[in-house]
Copies of this chain bind each other. A is one copy, B any other.
């Protein structure tokens, strides 16, 4: 089963919590409710989208809609809610 995002929507698989600490990026307590990390799964066809599947990204926590795909946590968000690509 597959989800194909429309327009400026991006499907993101939430990164697991332990990954966050290992990566060296740590979101302090006060901001913990605002950002989080994940991996791009699929993107819409909007030209403004600069991320591609497998990119690790930082996005606004309140962005988008939570959805479970094959049992795992995903978020469908708008491209503008993605703040940065995480390169390691």
Q: Which residues of A contact B (CB under 8 A)?
A: 1-7, 9, 11, 23-28, 30-31, 34-35, 45, 48, 50-51, 58, 60, 65-71, 73, 76, 80, 82-88
Set of chain B residues within 8 Å of A25, measured between Cβ atoms = 1, 3, 67-69
Copies of this chain, whole number:
7
Q: Say whether chain A's binding surface is mostly helix, strand, loop, or mixed.
A: strand
CB distance from A6 to the nearest CB of B (A): 6
Q: Quick one: which of B2, B26, B83 contacts A6, CB cutoff 8 A? A: B83
In the bound complex, CA of A69 to CA of B86 (Å):
11
B66 touches A6 (CB 8 A): no
In the bound complex, CA of A86 to CA of B1 (Å):
8
